[in-house]
Amino acid sequence: MRRAARALLIALTGAATLTGCADRDLFLGGAPPAPEEAIRILPGDGARGVRANGRLEVRVPEGRLERVEVNRAGGSGRQPVAGRISRDGTIWRPVTDSLELASRYTVDAVAVDGAGRRTTRHTTFNTFAPPHRLIGFYSPESGATVGTGLIFSLVFNRPVLDRAAVERAVTVSARPAVEVAPHWFGHRRLDFRPRERWRPGTRLTVQLRLREVRTGPGAYGIQHKTLHYQVGRDQVSTVDAARHTLTVRRDGKVVATLPVTAGNAENPTYNGTMVILERHAVTRMDGDTVGFGAEYDIPDVPHAMRLTRSGTFLHGNYWARREVFGGLNTSHGCVGLRDVRGGGPDTPAGWLYRNSIVGDTVEVRNSPDRTVAPDNGLGGWNMPWAAWRAGSALH
């Protein structure tokens, strides 16, 4: 009897407990599911080695998504990934394939179920990190207005063994359309140019689709971006080393003739067509960095515009006598224009600097030196078109 009474008591107690739980769930609208069930995220939390084209989505089997934030951790802070929640509120996907290799991503999502209860979930994942990452460096940055002589040049951080694969992944197009041809200089540099200089007003689009492109054993590209440039007016500056002059033509009309001093007899200026690579309001010129030892070291050269990687500049010169400009060639290969210390805006050097942009063409004539090499700066304009096109890995 005592055992039966005890069994009955346990049964009743258990029934009461179950009834109590059932009543509570009914009152609250049911127990909420676990966050990982209420909000399902791909890739999974803590995933590693995710491919750039891997599946990225946030989904709810019931209810709706209220907010989703996906961010890439970067050196300059969080970089958001653009995405959209579907009309029915059940799924979020990125707008474009925007994952970067060798990166850490965070996903933060908030969902609301039918009873109005909110569930939050935070996950992280890491994308595939190639053992050898190929990066192409270029200048100027996207959005720049450039001169008609610009050659788009990519210099890679490591040798490219599969040059054809890389060439397929990089395109340069123009509006209005012209043929743009690639040319390899060795295994680390890929340049693009048309037959003739760009027409003023041309819009250039560069597409780098190097992400996950295999460039050699264990080496992969990681860049996936689109660059845009606007070609400005056509300006060509012609240096006559024998006459010691620089004549500026803009859209075919002479706008200025300036006195200059070019390279001396021992260090003449290169002949040929060059392009302004970069501009510096002031820079240091140290002869030791270009093979001239301690012959000069000037820490404050004004209005300097680089023409070659080997060290040829158009620049202001405040240390030479006034009669040198237009009369003598005294430099170590650069082309100097009269200036004042600190850079005067109304000096010949200041005027040229103010009226020049990256991509402008500079031609040097009547110098006793050889023609500048096609790979020294953007000297590719000195190469015949047939020879240029022959430098493609796909032809």
| Angle formed at CA 22 by CA 17 and CA 24, multiple of 5 degrees | 95
**3-class state of residue 115 by DSSP:** coil
Is residue 198 exposed (0-12), middle (13-18) or buried (19+ Cβ within 10 Å)?
buried
- Secondary structure string (H, E, C) spanning 250-267: ECCEEEEEEEEECECCCC
Please give the backbone phi and psi of residue 118, each rounded to the nearest 5 degrees, phi first: -95, 140
Q: Spot the catalytic one: 183, 224, 303, 334.
A: 334
The CA-based diameter of the chain, rounded to the nearest angstrom, is 129
Q: Are 84 and 90 in contact (CB under 8 A)?
A: no
- Per the annotation, the verdict on 183 as an active-site residue is no
Q: Spot the catalytic one: 183, 224, 315, 332.
A: 315
Cis peptide before 302 (omega within 30 of 0): no
CA distance 51 to 100: 9
- Per the annotation, the verdict on 334 as an active-site residue is yes
CA–chain centroid gap for 24, Å, is 59
Cis peptide before 259 (omega within 30 of 0): no
CA distance 368 to 128: 54
Q: Are 105 and 99 in contact (CB under 8 A)?
A: yes
Question: If you compute the radius of gyration of the chain from its CA atoms, what whole number of angstroms results?
Answer: 32
Q: Would you name the residues annotated as active-site residues?
A: 315, 334
